[in-house]
Amino acid sequence: MKSTVPCLQKGDLVGVVALSSLVEPEKLGEAVAFLDELGLRYIVGDTIHAKHEYLAGSDEIRLADFHEMVKNPEVKAIFCVKGGYGSARIADKIDYALIEENPKIFWGFSDVTYLHCAINEYANMVTFHGPMLMSANKMDDLSKKMFLQLFSPMEIQYTEAISPLTTIAGGITRGEMIGGNLYRLVSTLGTKFEVRTEGRILLIEDVNETIPVIDSMLQHLKQARKFEQLAGVVIGSFTQTGSDEEALHSLMKEYFTDLGIPVVAGFKFGHETTNIAIPLGTEAILDAQEKVLKILPGVHV
């Protein structure tokens, strides 16, 4: 398992950055207002106001902004405010030893999946798959409540009390939680940041991808032999596919029913109003019979 990171306390200073697409700074108010609600102080990175074509500043600016937040001993957490595209462009230039020497909360999802894979492996550190701060006004109360896991160690238990779940394949398993956005996971293949799935529970989610495209991406992972030693699969939100849930579940059954591992769909992880934040790199138990996912805390006191 990866190393957990120190928890937050009220009044702590956190960093706000954009490591991917261009930000509209006028919308930052919603993000920082939410940090105020959490009782946190914040500093805004250079990337929030930077612009380079469609990116939040050049690769050099985004890399430097991230490194500055990592190095600053006062900054206890780094929140990415927006996804889109761009994090992969800086992944091979990041100083992972620096991250390992300065462990702190790193939070985001979608495009940030690429950096979750990189930091989990090369800094041996837990990271957090959770909603971007720019969408604070669209988060429901439960999604906002999940930020509280950063203030004290708490085991996350996801049951049908949160959302209806569908067992794609039965069984019970234990393993390290990894994954995130399906498109970004596929884009790691053939790189030094290639997602490692052996003995792990894989989370997948996506938005604006049709069933044939999702099929293509799953086929890519299958032919890259990423399903052969999986411990289990957690299927998050696949929104705006242009098809119904039945078509998605039918596709998932084609890929996962013969693997002999538990697979459950319907988790609210991803591009939806309910986006439950979870740590990646900690141990989890997936029980497909009882439809329960338990995840160990990502922080320590």
**Token pair of 292 as six digits:** 């329960």
Known catalytic residue at 20 = no
Phi and psi, residue 279, nearest 5°: -80, 145
**pLDDT tens digit at each of 301 positions of the chain:** 999 999 999 999 999 999 999 999 888 998 999 999 999 999 999 999 999 999 999 999 999 999 999 999 999 999 999 999 999 999 999 999 999 999 999 999 999 999 999 999 999 999 999 999 999 999 999 999 999 999 999 999 999 999 999 999 999 999 999 999 999 999 999 999 999 999 999 999 999 999 999 999 999 999 999 999 999 999 999 999 999 999 999 999 999 999 999 999 999 999 999 999 999 999 999 999 999 999 999 999 9
Find out whether 205 and 294 touch, Cβ atoms under 8 Å: no
272 DSSP β-pair partners: none
| Rg of the chain over all Cα atoms, to the nearest angstrom | 18
42 contact partners, CB below 8 Å, separation of at least 6: 13, 14, 15, 16, 32, 35
| Alpha-carbon distance values, 176 to 120, 140, 158 (Å) | 11, 27, 16
220 is catalytic: no
pLDDT at 23: 96
Marked catalytic residue, from 20, 209, 237, 271: 271
Catalytic: 300?
no
Long-range CB contacts for residues 30-36, cutoff 8 Å, separation at least 24? 30/133, 30/134, 30/136, 30/137, 31/79, 31/81, 31/133, 31/134, 31/136, 32/133, 33/136, 34/133, 34/136, 34/144, 35/79, 35/133
Does an H or E element contain 174, and which?
strand 172-181
Please, what is the Cα angle at 186 between 136 and 195, to 5 degrees?
A: 90
What 8-state DSSP symbol labels residue 22? Answer: P
Q: What confidence tens digit (pLDDT) does each residue in 38-75 have?
A: 999 999 999 999 999 999 999 999 999 999 999 999 99
Write down the catalytic residue from 176, 205, 209, 272. Answer: 205
Please answer whether residues 235 and 267 qualify as being in contact, where contact means their C-beta atoms are separated by less than 8 angstroms: yes
> What is the per-residue pLDDT for 181?
98
pTM of the model: 0.98
The label of the residue with tokens 């053939």 reads: 190
Q: Which of 20, 110, 187, 237 is catalytic?
A: 110
Q: Which amino acid is at 126?
A: V
Domains of the chain from N-terminus onward: 5-150 (3.40.50.10740), 156-300 (3.50.30.60)
